[in-house]
Amino acid sequence: MTRFGGPGTGMLVTMLAIVAPGQGAQTPGMLTAWLEVPGAADHLAAAARASGIDLVGHGTTSDADTIRDTAIAQPLIVATSLMALRAVLDGRDVAEVAGVVAGHSVGEFSAVAAAGMMADDEAVALVSRRAALMAQAAAENPSGMAAVLGGDSDEVEAAIAAAGAWPANVNGGGQVVAAGAHEAIAALVDAPPAKARIMPLQVAGAFHTPLMGSARVAFEDIVTGWPANDPRVALLSNADGTVVTDAAEALRRLASQITSPVRWDLCQERLAELGVTGILELAPGGVLTGLARRTLPDVARLAIKGPDDIDAARAFVAEHAAEHG
C-alpha cells in the first residue's frame, strides 16, 4: 500500500505497524538460538526475575505440554516478543520508527511496553499476574477453544451460540475462534456451520469468555494501582480497534479483555484506515502476518521467527519507518 502526502506533493508516505502474537505462538526450543544474540540473555534474565519463572529454561528445554501451561506460555511469549523488538531496534525507540502498535490477546502486553507505557520487565511482571489468574480460572472451569475456519459469518455466529459457546477471537479472513465448556466445543464439532471446518485448539481454557470472570475481577484490582505512562505511539485495543491514548484506559481494557472477545478483525481494519504500509510481527511470529496476508494483501509484512530474521527486520523497519520526499 502506498500513500501520498497530498495532491502535487510528490511525497511518498510510509507507516510501520509493530504487532505482537498471542498465546499458541510458542514452540519448544524457540529461545535457544536467541541466546547467541548480544543483549538477549540479559533481557530474558530481567524478564525471568520479574515473572519469577525460569523463562530461559522453558524457552530452550521444556516440551510442548509444559509451555502450553497458561502460567508459563503468556510471560514466555511476551518476554520473547520484547526481546526480539529490542534486538531489531538496537537501542532506537519504538516511537522513532513505528506509527502504531498492537498485540493479539496476550500480545497486547507486548504492545503496551512497545508503546512506552511501562518497561519491558514491568510488562512481563504484569502479564505473569494475569497468566496465573487465568490458569486458576481455567482449572475451576474445565473448558477449551476451537477455530472455525470458513463459512458464512452469520451462520458461524449462530452455530457457536447454538452449541453454548462464545466467539472468543474474531480474527478476520474467515477465522473465528470459539470458546466454552468442553461439552459446548464438542457440540460445535458435531454440528459445524455449513462450509466451515472446526479445528480444536490445544489450550487450557475458554479465554476471553465469561468463564474467565474470576480472573478478570482479580486482575482489575491489580491494574488499578499499576504504574503506567500514557502511550507514546498509537496503541490499538483488542476490544474494537480503537486507538487508546490514556494509560488508565489502556490498563482497564487489559483487564476487560480477559472476558471479552479479541476483535483482531477490527484492529486490522484500523491499520488499513491509518495507512499502514508495513507490518512487522515480533517473535515468535507468523500467525498475524498470515492473517494479514488474507485481509490486508496490499500491505507489506514480515514475521520475526528467529534471530536469522534480524537483518531483514531492520531493513524492513528502515523501509517503512519514515517519509520519503
CB distance 154 to 161 below 8 Å: no
Q: Which residues are catalytic?
A: 105, 208
pLDDT at 3: 37
Q: Would 12-139+209-316 and 142-201 be classified into the same CATH topology? A: no
Maximal C-alpha separation, the chain: 62
Phi-psi region of 176 (alpha: psi -120 to 50; beta: other; left: phi over 0): beta
36 Cα distance to chain centroid: 25
- Fold assignment, 142-201: Alpha-Beta Plaits (3.30.70)
Cell of 246: 490514556
Which residues lie below 8 Å from residue 76, measured CB to CB, with a gap of 6+? 26, 53, 55, 58, 59, 67
d(CA 15, CA 296): 14
The domain ranges of the chain are 12-139+209-316, 142-201
All three cell numbers of 184, joined, read: 459446548
| Dihedral pair phi/psi, residue 256, rounded to 5° | -65, -25
Instruction: Determine contact, residues 153/161, Cβ cutoff 8 Å.
Output: no
Q: Write down the pLDDT at residue 204.
A: 84
For cell 468463564, what's the residue?
Answer: 211
* CA separation for the pair 177, 149 (Å, rounded): 8
> Distance between CA atoms of 186 and 178, rounded to whole angstroms?
11
Q: What is the pLDDT at residue 13?
A: 83
Q: Report d(CA 260, CA 270) in Å as an integer.
A: 19
The model carries a pTM of 0.94
Q: Identify the sign of the CA torsion 256, 262, 266, 267.
A: positive
- N-to-C CA span, the chain: 17
The reported pLDDT for the residue numbered 8 is: 41
CB 241 within 8 A of CB 263: yes
- The rounded Cα 209 to chain-centroid distance in angstroms is 17
Residues 124 and 239: beta-carbon distance below 8 Å: no
Q: Is 274 left (phi over 0), alpha (psi -120 to 50) or beta?
A: alpha
Angle at the Cα of 254 from the Cα atoms of 41 and 71, rounded to 5 degrees:
50
Segments of the chain with pLDDT less than 70: 1-12, 322-325
Q: What is the pLDDT of residue 203?
A: 84
What is the four-CA torsion angle of 15, 2, 300, 287, rounded to 10 degrees? 70
Fold of the domain spanning 12-139+209-316:
Malonyl-Coenzyme A Acyl Carrier Protein; domain 2 (3.40.366)
C-alpha 70/C-alpha 138 separation (Å) is 9
